[in-house]
Chain A
Amino acid sequence: MHAPPPTSKTLKGTDMKADKSHRGRGISRRSFMTHTAVGAAALAMPNIVRAQTGGRVLVRTSGGSYQEALQQGTWNEFTKITGIEVIGVPANTGKLLTMAEAGSQELDIVEANAIAMLTLQDRGVLEEIDYSRFEYTDVNDVSTVEPTYLSYCAFAEAICYNTEAFPDGGPANWADVWDVENFPGRRMLQDAKAISPNLEFALLAAGVSKEELYPLDVDRAFDMLRQIRPHVIKFFDSGALGASLLAERTAVLGALWTNRVEALRKEGAPVAIEWNQAMRVTEYTGILKGSPNYDNAMRLIDYSSSPKAQALSLPQIGLSPENIRAFDHIAPEVAAILPTSPVLKDKGFEQSAAWWIANRDDIARRWEEFLLE
């Protein structure tokens, strides 16, 4: 990594095939390139570059406590085993796409929810994954395995409420959330800017069964949202905002990602989850085209999909591992509150990413119109 500064001789050497003969006595073109590439990256991100031995790998995550948990569990363990440093970078999909288009991808791995990941896949920015190189993970244990991505974990969005606001028991289903007489109080629902608006929950509240949701009856869903809107203080556009609305009691019931509610509950907030009619969303992972550390990325994807690695970080933050054998390493009482645990799985349903990909632009416009009403 720490090659001597390039001499003018090697810089001027135009015959690139002569690289190998340079090795040992000077600097090869390749090591020079790596050197400058790392230097450029260091200039771009001076605060996260540290001394390292086994190289590094940059992972896009949604940031926050999720990334922290991965860093402390899975990634640290990976660094111990391989010497490769893992750097988490919170970035939005727009940034990933821009970097890909500019041909200067800084990141290696992307982790994102199904809708975002399928969008990236459509734009052709994902690299093929070489599953034959997997050492830690048996791909047969992973729920979804595609040429360019595989499922990593599952989270869920469910009814959440403040237990102090409803001492006699909170809402039991989405119809209750829409019932402002029996469950009075300010509500919170999700904005289209965060994954998707809660059309599914609106339809469930209208009495549609969870098996017959898709294709969504969009008109009906918006009608239901119109009904509840006067009682919604804010449509949250990020999990962080949703969590603060609930924690500060700005809203006393509504929708939120269960891992966010769990985090609040652990801190002692009087909040609870109702798992009935919860919606599961799968988080996928893949390697970006032009990944500067492809080999390291392959190793990390392999390692983080393994049962042990998944058990190290995900259950702690209320997320379900997508490697089924990870449950062998998780205590039963912990497994019981994960979105894909047998008990909870039957209560809920999985969001159809395919439907959203097909209808997203249309819904985006309708959502903006709805907001202005």
Chain B
Amino acid sequence: MMRACCRAARGETVSAPSPNTEAAIGGTRRKWTPRITSLWLLVPALGFLAVFFAYPLASIVLRSFDGGASGLTLEHYSTFFTVPVYPRILWQTIEISLLTTILCVLVGYPLAYVMANSSPAVRNVMLLMVMLPFMTSVLVRTYGWMVILRPTGLLNHVAQLFGLPAVELLYNRPGMLIGLVYTMTPYVVLTLYSVMRGIDGRLVAVARSLGASGWSAFWRIYFPLSLPGVAGASLLVFILSSGFYITPRLMGGDRDQLLASIIAYQVDVLLNFEFASAIAVILLAITLVCFGIYARAVGLKQLLTSRT
């Protein structure tokens, strides 16, 4: 039975009656085939997407190949990859996004675990505390952090009172990571929470009753079942961080240049829309590659369902 649970955790079919088997979920349900008329219901949404998403995106992609009088060109892309500074910024963007993702999961996982496995009252309070910052403007929250972290700020003031040395946590990499992790962690918590709520607690109970230690039951049963959630949350945070602008710009150091700030600089100041478009397309490509890896490794279905 213990082994069966492990297999269930790995997503294999088990013969033991379990609420999670394919048959219990949808196998017996009659297949619903949409009639052509009901497809019309999609028209407003598709129209909206076409006008406000597909068209602008297509024009950005086109623009990234725009060579002015010489017609279509790859010039902007070759500039990006031949001027050493841009690949370095690209790499730095990936590096910082990965670091943010790892830190967010490390912070968010335990939080989501406690939330999913506590009494409704505690859970609601925790949920509220995770959601509240979500409803505040990211700009306001970032300025809040700046007030706390700046060299003459609250943190150093308190440190001074206790005779501790001053810390430099603003306008540098650690400062930016604090801001990024703080902003992104709720995404991890909420994604993981919904997945963890879908994990059948009886599986862990069964493992315990068969002699597994709490630790072992967690690592061999619960954790594998929560992995699709970890993957989904990581994907979300990585994609959001790789294009994040406000917090890195306000809290980061001068060395922490990311693709988003380069795009803004090209658009706002240098008015080089073509090059900016090329960078934007490259950023989009990274996102799509991550998405592709996720789809292959975990499956997109997992992203849309909270059931394990």
Decide if A44 is an interface residue (CB 8 Å cutoff): no
Query: Which residues in chain B, 252-267, are within 8 Å of chain A measured between CB atoms?
Result: 253-255, 257, 261-262, 264-265, 267
Q: With A248-B150, A248-B152, A249-B152 in contact, is A368–B269 under 8 Å at CB?
A: no
Tell me if A368 and B271 are in contact (CB < 8 A).
no
Q: Is B268 an interface residue (CB 8 A)?
A: yes
Taking CB as reference atom, which chain A residue is nearest B79?
A365
CA distance A4 to B257 in the complex (A): 54
Residues in B with CB closer than 8 Å to A371 are: 254-255, 257
Q: Is residue B272 within 8 Å, beta carbon to beta carbon, of the partner chain? A: yes
Q: How far is the CB of B257 from chain A (nearest CB, A)?
A: 6
CB-defined interface of A349-373 with B at 8 Å, one 1/0 digit per residue?
Answer: 0000000000011001100110111
Inter-chain contact B257/A97, CB cutoff 8 Å: no
A93 proximity list for chain B (CB < 8 A) = 268-269, 271
Is A193's CB within 8 Å of the partner chain B?
Answer: yes
Chain B residues whose CB sits within 8 angstroms of the CB of A248 once the complex forms: 150, 152-153
**In the complex, which residue of chain A has the Cβ closest to the Cβ of B262?**
A368
A249 to B170, CA, bound (A): 13
Check A235 for interface membership: any CB of B closer than 8 A: yes
Q: In the complex, what residues of B have CB within 8 A of residue A369's CB? A: 84-85
Chain B residues whose CB sits within 8 angstroms of the CB of A98 once the complex forms = 273
Q: Within 8 Å of chain B (Cβ to Cβ): is A347?
A: no
Interface size of A by CB at 8 A reads 28
Which residues of chain B are near A364, meaning CB under 8 Å? 265, 269-270
Chain B 119-139 against A: per-residue CB contact (8 Å), 1 yes, 0 no? 000000000000000000000
Give chain B's interface residue range (CB within 8 Å of chain A). 20 to 34
* Chain B positions 72 through 101: 1 when the CB is less than 8 Å from some CB of chain A, otherwise 0: 000000000001111011001000000000
A144 at interface, CB cutoff 8 A: no
A303 to B268: give the CA distance in the assembly, Å.
29
Flag whether B198 is at the interface (Cβ < 8 A): no
Roughly how many angstroms separate A169 CA and B85 CA in the complex, as a whole number? Answer: 41
- Alpha-carbon separation in the docked complex, A235 to B257 (Å): 12
Q: How far is the CA of A361 from the CA of B274 in the complex (A)?
A: 14
Q: Is the C-beta of A191 less than 8 angstroms from some C-beta in chain B?
A: yes
Report if A64 contacts B (CB, 8 A): no
A186 CB within 8 Å of chain B: yes
Contacts of B255 in A (CB 8 A): 371-373
- Identify B271's interface contact among A123, A234, A235, CB under 8 A: A123
Is B109 at the interface (CB under 8 A from chain A)?
Answer: no
Residues in A neighbouring B273, C-beta threshold 8 A: 94, 97-98
Within the assembled complex, what's the spacing in Å between the Cα atoms of A123 and B83? Answer: 25
Contact B254 A235 (CB under 8 A): yes
Check A193–B271 contact: CB distance below 8 A: no
Q: How far is the CA of A191 from the CA of B255 in the complex (A)?
A: 12
B272 to chain A: which residues have CB within 8 Å? 361
CA distance A97 to B268 in the complex (A): 10
Q: Is B224 an interface residue (CB 8 A)?
A: no
Confirm or deny: A36 has a beta carbon within 8 angstroms of a beta carbon on chain B: no
Q: Select from chain A the residue with minimum beta-carbon distance to B250.
A: A241
A372 touches B265 (CB 8 A): no
Q: Which of A232, A365, A372 is within 8 Å of B257, CB to CB?
A: A372
By a CB distance below 8 angstroms, the chain A residues around B152 are 248-250
* Interface flags, A191-230, vs B, CB<8A=1, else 0: 1110000000000000000000000000000000000000
Instruction: Fill in one digit per residue for B151-165: 1 if any A CB lies within 8 Å of its CB, else 0.
Output: 111000000000000
CB-contact partner of A193 in B84, B85, B265, under 8 A: B265
Q: Tell me whether A119 is interfacial, beta carbon within 8 Å.
A: yes
Q: Provided the pairs A365-B83, A371-B255, A372-B257 are in contact, do residues A94 and B268 lie with their beta carbons within 8 angstroms?
A: yes
Chain B hits for A365, CB < 8 A: 83, 85
User: Would you call B193 an interface residue if the criterion is a C-beta within 8 Å of the partner chain's C-beta atoms?
Assistant: no
**B-binding residues in A (CB < 8 A):** 92-94, 97-98, 119, 123, 186, 191-193, 232-235, 237, 248-250, 360-361, 364-365, 368-369, 371-373
Q: A94-B268, A193-B264, A364-B270 are in contact. List 20 more A-B contacts (CB 8 A).
A: A92-B268, A92-B269, A93-B271, A97-B271, A97-B273, A186-B151, A193-B265, A233-B171, A234-B171, A234-B254, A248-B153, A250-B152, A250-B170, A360-B270, A361-B270, A368-B257, A371-B254, A371-B257, A372-B88, A372-B92
Query: Which of B's residues lie within 8 Å of A, judged by CB?
Result: 83-86, 88-89, 92, 150-153, 170-171, 249, 253-255, 257, 261-262, 264-265, 267-273
A sample of 10 inter-chain contacts (CB < 8 A) reads A92-B268, A93-B269, A97-B271, A192-B269, A193-B268, A233-B151, A233-B171, A249-B151, A364-B269, A364-B270
Q: Which 7 A-B pairs rank lowest in CB-CB distance, beginning with the nearest?
A: A94-B267, A92-B268, A369-B85, A234-B171, A94-B268, A368-B85, A249-B152
